[in-house]
């Protein structure tokens, strides 16, 4: 994929380090990556193009707009990833009229003024670095929630396994405090306050056996008062106060620190290294991060971002108390190994990169296929009507009429595997039919093989069948127990025959359980084992999933994605309007025996999803 990252900055920021980490991984995976920014400091294998994105004059803004547009057209860029509001603004106008998606990474709270609320310049998809930021964008800026996704910072933990001591490291008989963060803006003010008031106070309480190393920007950025206090500290304690400014060896310093003060990427990296970490960000302090407060610290990006006003500020007394305690205690309280492993899992670069690339492909797919794709949900296709109280069937005659209508109206059935191949560029852009539709069948009934498949073959249509993974399950046991008629399921050989002929099979758990009611262990088993068993039985990769009974909650959705499914279908009004709004909660129209004529026509229309949501929300 051809990717352009756009930043506005004049000194090193977390956004630059994030973009560099992402770009380097993308290049490693074979993508063509360019970075456009005012300045650049971090090592990268991507191509760097200087451009004055951060200069806010109207004349320069429009120069930037045309520079980006020319670059996108000349280099056939497929996605633009902006990393600041200024970068989003110029990229938004540069891409006007083009089928190139804009993905905006939002690293911090946005200013609450009329222009930010009145004009959504963030493009097709917003990636917020933490939960609080997602809430802020929804509640305080009024941005459509279907555009916002949480996408955290990514770290290659493998690079932190064998860090050498910093080049300018000197042995010290005591604890080393590393304070890391920008020296400009609110973080610079916090650094100044800590140096001017907190550190002198701690010196009185704990006069010996510790030193302070400050990394992140030049001392000259600080006020004259802060510089004077710092110089006095250095003069009095020449071996205990070191101001390094920007350092490429920040990870090396974190590895030798006994306690770290910071937020965002610094906090994540320090915790990943197992270091005691005091979270102090632009928004607030969480004090020493432990198992008790790690969740709220993660949600705020370790003090950088609040969900909504008012601004709480820094509790300096709390910070001083925690820092003093760390210096006095031999083994201060820190997150346990399970929490540290969670940090490593959540922020693992491979998983973050995979999710970001999925967002790129998804945003591009929605740009190329803006209309919703109708998705129908069938169950049984019977020769005669059934006495099923749930009415989860159609007759063969009705199904014939449905296929005839689909053909007459110029609809073309596709499946999720084909859609995924098109989305990832493995099929040409013009492969997508003018009016696509997806036919799905739940449970894998024998009548799907005997009655539905011959008709699908007659028309040359594909479909998706959601089958149970348990090879010993030969009938609809879950429904029979509730008084439904007994119906046989397909055998493995029959499913394999259909799969080899182009019918996609997805998973429907192992035993048709409501996943919102089972234990964590059972949830993992039902999702993962069903996928593995079907792939073993059929010899085909399984990429889609249907939630039994349509039941879903955030935990089930997260675990479904984690199990490796690319798409998952539901049947309620909470799903997104478009397939790409949330591929883990895709809306389907339930097909009943009486869905013929205008009823079927309505459910095969691209606008039906909007109508359904409106009707349920009245």
The token pair that represents 152 in the structure block: 């955290």
Q: What span, in angstroms and rounded, lies between the C-alpha atoms of 588 and 302?
A: 39
* Domains of the chain with bracketed CATH: 2-154 (3.40.50.2000), 159-347 (3.40.50.2000), 374-617 (3.20.20.370)
Supply the angle between the helices 264-272 and 14-28 in degrees, to the nearest 10: 60
Cα-based torsion angle of the residue sequence 33, 36, 37, 38 in order, rounded to the nearest 10 degrees: 140
Q: What span, in angstroms and rounded, lies between the C-alpha atoms of 121 and 118?
A: 9
Question: How many CB atoms within 10 Å of residue 549?
Answer: 15
Residue keyed to tokens 């300018």 = 168
Say if CB 139 and CB 115 are below 8 A apart.
Answer: no
SS3 assignment for 512-556 = CCCHHHCCHHHHHHHHHHHHHHHHHHHCCCCCEEECHHHCCCHHH
SS3 of residue 173 by DSSP: coil
Q: What span, in angstroms and rounded, lies between the C-alpha atoms of 113 and 102?
A: 23
Per-residue model confidence (pLDDT) at position 610: 86
Per-residue model confidence (pLDDT) at position 335: 87
Nearest to residue 192, comparing CAs of 226, 166, 218?
A: 226
Q: Count CA within 13 A, CB hemisphere, residue 381.
A: 27
User: Which residues make Cβ contacts (< 8 Å) with residue 602, sequence separation at least 6?
Assistant: 608, 611
Question: How many CB atoms within 10 Å of residue 254?
Answer: 24
User: Which residues make Cβ contacts (< 8 Å) with residue 61, sequence separation at least 6?
Assistant: 55, 89, 90
Q: What span, in angstroms and rounded, lies between the C-alpha atoms of 284 and 277?
A: 14
Say if CB 213 and CB 177 are below 8 A apart.
Answer: yes
Ranges of residues in the chain with a pLDDT under 70 are 114-118, 573, 617-618
Per-residue model confidence (pLDDT) at position 388: 83
Q: What span, in angstroms and rounded, lies between the C-alpha atoms of 482 and 233?
A: 77
Say if CB 390 and CB 451 are below 8 A apart.
Answer: no
Supply the angle between the helices 492-500 and 520-538 in degrees, to the nearest 10: 70
Per-residue model confidence (pLDDT) at position 39: 94
- What angle (nearest 5°) sits at the alpha carbon of residue 310, between those of residues 304 and 314? 45
Per-residue model confidence (pLDDT) at position 59: 94
Per-residue model confidence (pLDDT) at position 618: 47
Per-residue model confidence (pLDDT) at position 596: 94
Say if CB 503 and CB 413 are below 8 A apart.
Answer: no
- What angle (nearest 5°) sits at the alpha carbon of residue 318, between those of residues 316 and 321? 105
Q: What span, in angstroms and rounded, lies between the C-alpha atoms of 8 and 134?
A: 21
Say if CB 230 and CB 218 are below 8 A apart.
Answer: no
Q: Count CA within 13 A, CB hemisphere, residue 385.
A: 7
Per-residue model confidence (pLDDT) at position 160: 83
Q: Which pLDDT tens digit goes with each residue over 491-534? A: 999 999 999 999 999 999 999 999 999 999 999 999 999 999 99
Q: How far is CA 560 from CA 362, 518, 525, in A?
A: 18, 14, 11
- What angle (nearest 5°) sits at the alpha carbon of residue 40, between those of residues 344 and 48? 100
* β-strand partners of 3: 33, 79
Say if CB 603 and CB 589 are below 8 A apart.
Answer: yes
The token pair that represents 365 in the structure block: 């797919």
Q: What span, in angstroms and rounded, lies between the C-alpha atoms of 560 and 569?
A: 11
Question: How many CB atoms within 10 Å of residue 459?
Answer: 13
Per-residue model confidence (pLDDT) at position 507: 98
Q: Which pLDDT tens digit goes with each residue over 448-503? A: 999 999 999 999 999 999 999 999 999 999 999 888 899 999 999 999 999 999 99
Q: What span, in angstroms and rounded, lies between the C-alpha atoms of 459 and 174?
A: 78
Q: What span, in angstroms and rounded, lies between the C-alpha atoms of 299 and 302?
A: 7
Dihedral pair phi/psi, residue 387, rounded to 5°: -90, 25
pTM of the model: 0.86
Q: What span, in angstroms and rounded, lies between the C-alpha atoms of 546 and 465?
A: 9
Q: What span, in angstroms and rounded, lies between the C-alpha atoms of 188 and 170?
A: 26
Helices (H), 101-167: 114-118, 131-139
Per-residue model confidence (pLDDT) at position 181: 87
Q: What span, in angstroms and rounded, lies between the C-alpha atoms of 564 and 542?
A: 9
Q: What span, in angstroms and rounded, lies between the C-alpha atoms of 224 and 103?
A: 41
DSSP state letters, 390-459:
T--EEEHHHHHHHHHHHHHTT-EE--HHHHHHHHTTSS-GGGS-SSEEEEEEEE-BHHIIIIIHHHHHHH
Per-residue model confidence (pLDDT) at position 116: 64
Q: What is the DSSP letter of 194?
A: I
Nearest to residue 449, comparing CAs of 388, 400, 492, 508?
A: 492
């Amino acid at each position: 994929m051809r990717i352009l990252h756009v930043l506005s900055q004049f000194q090193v920021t977390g956004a630059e380090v994030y973009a560099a980490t992402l770009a380097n991984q993308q290049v490693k995976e074979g993508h063509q990556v360019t970075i456009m920014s005012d300045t650049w400091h971090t090592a990268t294998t991507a191509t760097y193009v200087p451009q004055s994105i951060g200069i806010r004059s109207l004349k320069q803004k429009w120069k930037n707009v045309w520079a980006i547009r020319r670059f996108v057209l000349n280099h056939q860029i497929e996605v633009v990833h902006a990393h600041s509001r200024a970068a989003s603004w110029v990229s938004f106008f540069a891409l006007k009229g083009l089928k190139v998606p804009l993905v905006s990474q939002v690293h911090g709270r946005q200013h609450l003024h009329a222009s930010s609320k009145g004009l959504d310049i963030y493009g097709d998809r917003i990636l917020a670095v933490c939960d609080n930021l997602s809430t802020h964008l929804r509640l305080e800026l009024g941005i459509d929630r279907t555009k916002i996704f949480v996408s955290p910072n990514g770290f290659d933990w493998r690079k932190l396994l064998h860090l050498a001591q910093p080049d300018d490291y000197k042995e010290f008989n005591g604890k080393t405090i590393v304070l890391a963060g920008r020296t400009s803006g609110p973080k610079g003010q916090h650094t100044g306050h800590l140096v001017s008031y907190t550190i002198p106070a701690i010196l009185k309480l704990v006069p010996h056996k510790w030193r302070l190393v400050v990394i992140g920007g030049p001392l000259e950025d600080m006020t004259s008062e802060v510089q004077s206090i710092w110089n006095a500290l250095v003069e009095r304690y020449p071996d205990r106060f070191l101001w390094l400014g920007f350092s490429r060896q920040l990870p090396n310093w974190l590895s030798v620190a006994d306690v770290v003060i910071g937020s965002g990427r610094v906090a994540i990296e320090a915790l990943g290294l197992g270091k005691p970490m005091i979270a102090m960000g632009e928004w607030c302090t969480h004090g020493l991060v432990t198992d008790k407060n790690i969740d709220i610290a993660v949600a705020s990006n370790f003090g950088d971002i609040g969900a909504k006003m008012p601004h709480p500020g820094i509790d300096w007394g709390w910070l001083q108390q925690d820092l003093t305690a760390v210096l006095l205690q031999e083994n201060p309280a820190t997150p346990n190994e399970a929490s540290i492993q969670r940090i490593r899992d959540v922020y693992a670069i491979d998983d973050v990169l995979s999710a970001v690339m999925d967002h790129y492909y998804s945003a591009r797919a929605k740009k190329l296929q803006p209309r919703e794709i109708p998705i129908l949900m069938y169950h049984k296709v019977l020769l005669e009507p059934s006495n099923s109280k749930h009415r989860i069937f159609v007759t063969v005659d009705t199904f014939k009429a449905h296929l005839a209508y689909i053909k007459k109206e110029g609809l073309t059935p596709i499946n999720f595997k084909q859609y995924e191949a098109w989305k990832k560029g493995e099929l040409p852009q013009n492969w997508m039919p003018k009016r696509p539709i997806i036919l799905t069948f739940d449970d894998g009934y024998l009548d799907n093989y005997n009655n539905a498949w011959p008709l699908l073959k007659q028309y040359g249509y594909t479909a998706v069948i959601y089958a149970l993974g348990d090879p010993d399950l030969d009938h609809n046991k879950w429904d029979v127990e509730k008084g439904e008629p007994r119906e046989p399921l397909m055998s493995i050989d029959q499913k394999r025959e259909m799969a080899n002929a182009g019918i996609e099979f997805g998973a429907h758990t192992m035993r048709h359980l409501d996943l919102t009611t089972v234990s964590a262990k059972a949830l993992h088993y039902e999702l993962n084992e069903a996928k593995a068993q079907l792939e073993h039985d059929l010899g085909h990769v399984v990429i889609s999933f249907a939630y039994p009974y349509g039941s879903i909650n955030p935990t089930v959705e997260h675990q479904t994605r984690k199990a490796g499914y690319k798409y998952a279908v539901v049947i309620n009004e909470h799903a997104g309007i478009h397939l790409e709004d949330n591929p883990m909660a895709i809306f389907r129209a339930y097909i009943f025996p009486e869905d013929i004529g205008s009823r079927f026509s309505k459910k095969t229309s691209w606008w039906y999803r909007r109508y359904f949501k409106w009707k349920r929300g009245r």
